[in-house]
Structure 1
């Protein structure tokens, strides 16, 4: 469980110092009682202790989130199933990337693709249904590639992350397309009114060559340039990871090595208490190894993905509420030295929202409204510019699309214990027209600590620029060919409609300031799922098959998820979570939607042995799951045997300025059985040193 802080940054609940839960508080309480009995003025320190304790108790019960409702809310009353991974958790363990950080969240599965790349699947829907945000801004670099990409999980160093909010379930009302399965919002640290920073060096040493070594240096700095007016925040990362040795994986693809560089800077201008401007620019590069000489005849991956971003955000406090307006530009390129091609995607976004002050009209209303316009342009000569044997034409390598949206949500507090959130979003896409996404969510406080939650939402996922283009032709090695088997050529279709879903969830959330727990049931029904046709559109004399993308499938996932945090002792905390998938399949073909386990259990114990020393042990258990294997005619699903992963770590605060971490991930070097299509990172030893000022 994350330790909450009061507005001054002090740990809520105390730590045996000052006026926390230790002897100083008892001394202050005794003095206060004595003075009361004698009718004497209370000592100042006793009064302060009482105030601090009351504030601590209040803030302990409130963990603030923004992703579920678009504005700051207590997590207990957020209209969604949401989990938070805080900076304390990130600092306590060694995490390879963001996907590892959220792997233990209920309903979330981190799997590997057919070429060793990763994806985040929520509630059995697959990684293509998860939207990644950084400070609420959409990340779209993955649109440049179909393979050899580790996902949008490593653009921000852990030193710069304040928390990660994970919303499970459809969020199209607030965020539009791609949020059908859920949202991961990486929230960075805000600017500081005094100079502060950190620098972390980290080394990961696997016990064998199945997993490559990794070295990483990351840093964060923030402080005022002009007091109370202008501040600077900057963070960056340099890392190098060696390729895994595929010869040790029984033919299963292992992740390529990579050289990464990331740097971001943000200027925050506060001309008055009511207005804030954030100007931000960033550059990221992922170079997948081996990055060989262009004259090399090697067929290994030689891919470089570059991402450049710029944004300007204004936040204004007005008599009627708070407005936030953001202009955001992202340009991503994927360069292949092997094929001498470059794919680029440019995304221009302007969005604004208004969070109105509470309105009392029959009941209390917390209303949010806003809109978004987005233009996306893709230049893909490797796929969009190829000759299409089905149409007999060669298309333009450039495709673009304009979308616009309006949305509103209203949280209605009928009573102090019963509230409802109702929302509606209107989206316009120039290629397939208009679409509406409504949702309704109810929260009823059964007690001061226990809340009942239930909700329904409709969501959609728009076809991407490739799928909508009739001249998109991309070679698939098998999975993309569907029932006709591979290899084949996947072909776009301008008549595609967006996938739509009806989703329901119901559950309980408990938080008394010490114990935390949740238990819920979810149900997702997806219509017009985009997939490859049942039969080949064209078969050439050489046997090559052309398969068009179509809307035919209906899919469904349902299951249970939950979590529990138990303060076993003042120095011991035990946290667990689980996901149980009742089903996750294509109802037309009976095939699984993704390689998600039938059930997964994560349990973790942290021992605060000393104020400066902690130990953490965790167990991740993955039950029977499915994966795809290929035969000459079709793709079929197979069962993958259960397996578990054990991790150990320790953190030692040497002094106020230096902290040391060490441990072992995947202690027993566990792997899925050899028939599966992916590998886990093998047993890996790690050490890291962080310096702070």
Structure 2
């Protein structure tokens, strides 16, 4: 073990110039001031430990929040967010045990806890569900104070969290300065990137000058990205061996994104018992892209596309907190929000045959608008008997309008006209909950709660689509236990018994048919299926057990292991079936979400996060503050009704692994830090249906950073050079499906594949506080 750690130290040291923070710290986030270089190693270590304890007593840290919570969770504080200089939150979360990211490496993507795909993980902003149209990559890390990751649901945070909950806490007032300014510039491949961030403290009024406090943060940036297009398909008659069709598509696309985001957290202290909080949030973005593809084996060989889109997201939350007596609090929260997105695309397909040139022009224009309102209240009481009661209720209403027009050669597609171009929908949600958390003894903490939630979704009649209504309600009992063995004061055991669910999203319920552009007319193939919604979907219900063991080290490090099991009823999966459709005279393959049978998923997670001096006795002084991080996770699942050994839940990999080292070095009177992180997600094969199987290659990513200060850490400029996806690897995916030829009755084997290049991302950032 020591030999492996020493090798890691050597890799992180001279090669990378080491540590993630401007100042050295323990894993719990407490700052550790530097000691004089001439001090003896033993005295230096003792002094550091004493200062560590003094800092921890001054306020909650990431490790103390995690250690004292009855429900199992992981906390990422501001220091962890700053470490690698990430530009998207997904890259921060990717280094946690059991968290994987979709999309191309180095660019972020959808968050998948415990390997489960989109929708299984609940995303909260300041304890509330993320607003409509929110994408986690649209919120830069600079606007985040900390992230709390719950492995099991609680009544207060909500139970739409089969895989877990990620609660993003937005920036709070700065502790020691009034302004924080960050400027960054970088390259993705050879495409330029630039960002800025500014945070301003607000504080005035009253005898102590703190009747009104808050923080305002603004972030903006522009990015350009290059992507390759490299895909193909082959259709084989398995009885004759004849290749009926073979196509390839090769090309490139370029995109540009500009965004401006802002949020504020403002508190007005009216009296010692009453305070008001105002939290506005906005996000604006604009995207433009162009693509050029050359195809072989298809009707149209030259394809050119242009698109542009805009998004506006605005939210305003107002809350009041009233404390009539010590330990008792009434909270009332109101929220209003609006979302609007529009996109226009133009596609030109050209064919030249026998000297004749034929063109097909397709124009798509779509827009979505949504208004959102919420109201919630809760009462909490902390008693002398160590009880913490919380009871509350929430109501939420949203109304959405979706408009889409599709023209081919200037005329609407006949098959889509009957569905109309406007689709309106409304959603009503009501929830009530109660929970009690108490410590009957010093060794035991108990949490018991129950939550009821009802969601009603209605879609207006549109064209030939009738009005649809979907109602779902779930009651979720919850139990969390925390045991601190008397004989092992540094150890903790956690057990959770929970019920959670995943509700169908709006597009799964009411989506208008979307016709595949490669085969827009006549017969298509499984791998080029049309898409449509299913208004009869029901929620997926999961019963879960979580067990974890934690061993805490002297200065905040942790060694932990956890296991989980989820039994899921009514699994929702997109199934591709051959249907007689109203938008074409031929039968078409159509992908719709459908409730299938039950499934079971389980997994193991192991984590070590500690300073090297907590793991190695008599360590050399220059390596004492080196931080070592290692986690590994393994997942398995099976969906009943689908044959084969790979009948896994969709998108779930077999596991993940992270290994990283962070350190700080002193040279020439300046502070230098560096580190690296290795992330690995193994190759995955999933039997999606009885006739369709998908395979994805392994994902490997190596990140590194170098940090240094010009001037003092507080008053100077802190620099950070980040290298993401340092050794790019292509991301490949393939699928294999079987079907029956409508004319010959022969079995057809359809193979498709795609190869996405990934690129090195370099970013230089300057931080200033004043």
- Given the two structures, how large is their TM-score scaled by the length of structure 2? 0.73
Contact 2:20 2:84 in 1 (8 A): no
> What is the aligned counterpart of 1:544 among 578, 582, 588?
588
Please tell me whether residue 329 in structure 1 is matched to residue 336 in structure 2.
Answer: yes
Task: Tell me the CA shift for residue 224 of structure 1.
Answer: 1.5
Tell me how far apart the structure 2 counterparts of residues 268 and 224 of structure 1 sit (CA, whole Å). 9
Structure 1, 557-566 or 388-397: larger mean CA deviation: 388-397
Tell me how far apart the structure 2 counterparts of residues 607 and 591 of structure 1 sit (CA, whole Å). 43
SS in structure 2 at match of 1:468: helix
> What is the aligned counterpart of 1:358 among 383, 399, 402?
383
Q: Which residue of 2 aligns with 1:405?
A: 431
Task: Tell me the CA shift for residue 519 of structure 1.
Answer: 0.4
Q: Which residue of 2 aligns with 1:439?
A: 478
Q: Which residue of 1 aligns with 2:150?
A: 167
Q: How many residues align?
A: 632
Q: Which residue of 2 aligns with 1:277?
A: 276
Tell me how far apart the structure 1 counterparts of residues 594 and 504 of structure 2 sit (CA, whole Å). 10
Tell me how far apart the structure 2 counterparts of residues 567 and 50 of structure 1 sit (CA, whole Å). 12
Q: Mark the CA change 1:138 to 1:388 in structure 2 (over 3 Å): closer, same or farther.
A: farther
Q: Which residue of 2 aligns with 1:603?
A: 659
Contact 2:227 2:757 in 1 (8 A): no
Q: Mark the CA change 1:394 to 1:441 in structure 2 (over 3 Å): closer, same or farther.
A: same
Q: CA offsets, 1:418-437, max 9 Å, x none?
A: 12211100112234253201
Q: CA offsets, 1:64-92, max 9 Å, x none?
A: 69xxxxxxx84124243322222112222
Q: Mark the CA change 1:639 to 1:688 in structure 2 (over 3 Å): closer, same or farther.
A: closer
Please tell me whether residue 516 in structure 1 is matched to residue 542 in structure 2.
Answer: no
Q: Mark the CA change 1:124 to 1:411 in structure 2 (over 3 Å): closer, same or farther.
A: same
SS in structure 2 at match of 1:340: strand
Please tell me whether residue 651 in structure 1 is matched to residue 707 in structure 2.
Answer: yes
Structure 1, 122-131 or 272-281: larger mean CA deviation: 272-281
Q: Show the 5 A alignment for 1:568-607.
A: 568=612, 569-583=623-637, 588=642, 591-607=647-663
Q: Show the 5 A alignment for 1:246-645.
A: 246-247=228-229, 256-290=255-289, 299-319=305-325, 320-338=327-345, 339-358=364-383, 360=385, 364-382=386-404, 397-430=423-456, 431-446=470-485, 447-469=488-510, 472-475=512-515, 485-514=526-555, 515-532=557-574, 535-539=577-581, 540-546=584-590, 548-568=592-612, 569-583=623-637, 588=642, 591-610=647-666, 612-626=671-685, 635-640=692-697, 642-645=698-701
Contact 1:164 1:185 in 2 (8 A): yes
Q: Which residue of 1 aligns with 2:168?
A: 186
Unmatched runs of 5 consecutive residues or more in structure 1: 31-48, 66-72, 144-150
RMSD value over aligned CA atoms?
4.0
Contact 2:404 2:421 in 1 (8 A): no
Contact 1:16 1:22 in 2 (8 A): no
Contact 1:15 1:22 in 2 (8 A): no
Q: Which residue of 2 aligns with 1:107?
A: 98
Q: Mark the CA change 1:541 to 1:326 in structure 2 (over 3 Å): closer, same or farther.
A: same
Tell me how far apart the structure 1 counterparts of residues 127 and 611 of structure 2 sit (CA, whole Å). 32
Q: Which residue of 1 aligns with 2:141?
A: 158
Q: Mark the CA change 1:461 to 1:674 in structure 2 (over 3 Å): closer, same or farther.
A: closer
Unmatched runs of 5 consecutive residues or more in structure 2: 1-18, 232-248, 292-302, 346-363, 407-411, 457-469, 519-523, 613-622, 735-752
Q: Mark the CA change 1:501 to 1:450 in structure 2 (over 3 Å): closer, same or farther.
A: same
Task: Tell me the CA shift for residue 566 of structure 1.
Answer: 2.6
Q: Mark the CA change 1:274 to 1:466 in structure 2 (over 3 Å): closer, same or farther.
A: same
Structure 1, 430-439 or 246-255: larger mean CA deviation: 246-255
Tell me how far apart the structure 2 counterparts of residues 117 and 90 of structure 1 sit (CA, whole Å). 15
Task: Tell me the CA shift for residue 683 of structure 1.
Answer: 1.7
Question: Which protein shows a greater Rg?
Answer: 2
Task: Tell me the CA shift for residue 371 of structure 1.
Answer: 1.0
Please tell me whether residue 672 in structure 1 is matched to residue 671 in structure 2.
Answer: no
Task: Tell me the CA shift for residue 298 of structure 1.
Answer: 5.2
Contact 1:194 1:224 in 2 (8 A): no
Q: Which residue of 1 aligns with 2:463?
A: none
Contact 2:404 2:422 in 1 (8 A): no
SS in structure 1 at match of 2:305: coil
Tell me how far apart the structure 1 counterparts of residues 173 and 274 of structure 2 sit (CA, whole Å). 15
Task: Tell me the CA shift for residue 102 of structure 1.
Answer: 0.7
Tell me how far apart the structure 2 counterparts of residues 538 and 172 of structure 1 sit (CA, whole Å). 45
> What is the aligned counterpart of 1:15 among 12, 20, 33?
33
Structure 1, 408-417 or 397-406: larger mean CA deviation: 408-417
Q: Which residue of 1 aligns with 2:192?
A: 213
Task: Tell me the CA shift for residue 501 of structure 1.
Answer: 0.6
Tell me how far apart the structure 2 counterparts of residues 51 and 639 of structure 1 sit (CA, whole Å). 50
Task: Tell me the CA shift for residue 679 of structure 1.
Answer: 4.6
Task: Tell me the CA shift for residue 650 of structure 1.
Answer: 1.1
Task: Tell me the CA shift for residue 336 of structure 1.
Answer: 0.8
Contact 1:619 1:647 in 2 (8 A): yes
- Given the two structures, how large is their TM-score scaled by the length of structure 1? 0.81
Tell me how far apart the structure 1 counterparts of residues 52 and 663 of structure 2 sit (CA, whole Å). 24
Contact 1:484 1:634 in 2 (8 A): no
Task: Tell me the CA shift for residue 587 of structure 1.
Answer: 5.4
Q: Which residue of 2 aligns with 1:88?
A: 79
Q: Which residue of 2 aligns with 1:147?
A: none
Q: Mark the CA change 1:219 to 1:586 in structure 2 (over 3 Å): closer, same or farther.
A: farther
Contact 1:262 1:284 in 2 (8 A): yes
Q: Which residue of 2 aligns with 1:38?
A: none
Q: Mark the CA change 1:552 to 1:388 in structure 2 (over 3 Å): closer, same or farther.
A: farther
Q: Mark the CA change 1:409 to 1:119 in structure 2 (over 3 Å): closer, same or farther.
A: same
